[in-house]
Structure 1
Amino acid sequence: MQTKLLRPSEDPTAIEQAGALLRAGEVVGIPTETVYGLAADALNPQAVARIFEAKGRPQDNPLIVHIAEIETVHEIAADFPPEAQALAEAYWPGPMTIILPKLDRIPMVTSGGLNTVGIRFPSHPMAQAIIRAAGTPLAAPSANTSGRPSTTTAQHVMEDLNGKIAAVVDGGACSVGVESTVVSLCGERPRLLRPGGISLEQLRAVLGEVDVDRALREKIDDSEKVSAPGMKYRHYAPKAPVTVVFGTPKTSADYIYAQLGENSGVLCFDDCAARFQNAAVVETFGPSDDPEEQAREVFDALRRFDETDCTEIYAQCPPSDGIGLAVANRIKKAAGFHIIDLTEEEA
């Protein structure tokens, strides 16, 4: 298969071409404000199966369904409670996924075998235009090979999936850089399943108390059923093993410096890079006081390690507040929760 690279900035028919491919049951890489998505008709089991095949994704890992009109929720969810309405009014369109009971028209392959469905209304104008051109809700996990760092440019998608999917739509770099926040409204209380572009603090401003799933703190066993993507399996990881060092920028930098070997790589804050001149590879992902920039840069930085010969990676980690919680979660997942926590020593 030859993967087409469609550029709406140069070709006014690119969006309609993408829509036609999706209507025909093909898989297309599309831009969103979070990361690039690997889209297919969410109501077509055969099309959705092609997503799993292209990514090499486990079949029990549920997909998020993307919509371009809020009314579409009532066509795919069995219930849209007041809490969901309040979240939608506050943060849709935007980087937030709401998990709700699903209607039967959502195939089990889309929901990972669950009776729930994650729904998102992206804010990226091109994503909305592609959904409308397709004329159907789109299932769209991140457009990367399963387990690798997510893709934030069309070039990243082509690196992972060229020859495996019908097309990629080039919408430029993603503005958020980490995947959407996932919140479940299917239990007694709202539960944060994956941190993302909408912070835990923002969710609580609308919902009051929100529980935090243990998948944010520890590795989930592969045999467990989960209701959102990114909760188990190896995610966001470069080829070399990663160790996360959690502490202040200075303390974590000092610790990492002491560990470095001949083939060590370092993922660090911009303002700490000079500390690691003896490292084999140094990749930065934003200033230590700018978690929004860290979110935009972290996946790109992790992917760059695969172009090097480093055999181990040490990573600094931001505090877990605001969008920093999402950045920290992605780095910890990339490390398989192999964490050195220096905060007790600092206290």
Structure 2
Amino acid sequence: MKSKKNLLKFFKGIGIAIALPVAVLIIMEILIGLFADGHVISSMLDFKNMVRGAGISAAIAFGLSMNLTSGRMDLSLGSQRVVATIVGGIVASKLGLGGAWVLLFAIIFGLIFGGIVGFLYVTLRIPPMVLGIGVACIYECIGFGLTDGVGLRLVGTKGVEILSNVNFTLAVVAVIVVVMMVTMTYTVFSYKFRAVRGAQQIAKNAGINVFVNVAICYTVAGILVAISGVLDAAFAGSMTASMGLTSNGVVMQHMFPMMIGGTFLSRYVNQSIGIISAAVAVKILGMGLTCFNLSDATSGVVNMAIFIAFLVYQANAYKIKQAKTDKLRIAEAKAYKAANGLA
């Protein structure tokens, strides 16, 4: 009986995860049919761009979820993404390597740069937002200085075309999902992670090394954003060396799918699946908005307005649930009085 109930819960969660992007696609198609021309996905190229964009978004969302769900806002993730991609690409180029080697070296440097931030946080105990701003400025300067402000150019690099191949992107995202699902669900680290997220002092009293857990979270986040940086740079042909904290803008754009997958869909399905579903849904929303010939700024306003509406709903969902409970209790009380002839 219990196994049957768990199986039904599993399929319900999968159904909800699939239903979200499908619902967004249907809504956007209806709106486009009423007020514009075209379709959200009108060619195989559009489909490939959706897969690629959703994959990059999911990688960043996974990186954000490692710290943000525990109350740590890491504002250095954007700079880690840029500097790991640039340094990884430079090292691969100096060694005469290309293709997947660029990704491998970016992962290594993402691990290093993310680990440094984690080490500084647990050692210096600086508030994460303050630390993130300071580290971001340093990392941005490193990426800018190493390339004289030019950034990383991957056009013409040997074997780089595989990095922008949609099948390669799918394979990378699939590996990320499997690794994150296993790591964040079935390992000792996952239990410690949830314990620390719930209450750090209680976790510490239970014998969990909170600081090691936090340092690992920063390190994993660095790896994930480095992967997204390489996939993005391979498709665009370059990675710009940003300054003035502008590198973080790209990361913040993908907070929407992280919040949907990490705080809403995770109630019904594994968080990793939820983030993938949310990333696809948000990408479909963005592609649909382009059919209305909106500027990037206007599309951003619409996207963020929906995001804020979602946050407002999340913050007040308990009130709606409480109101339904109160209404039911009042109805039961009235029915009881009527049945017993009470005034």
Of Structure 1 and Structure 2, the greater helix share is in 2
TM-score using structure 1 length: 0.26
Query: Which structure's relative contact order is higher, taking Cα pairs within 8 Å and 6+ residues apart?
Result: 2
TM-score using structure 2 length: 0.26
Rg bigger for which structure?
2
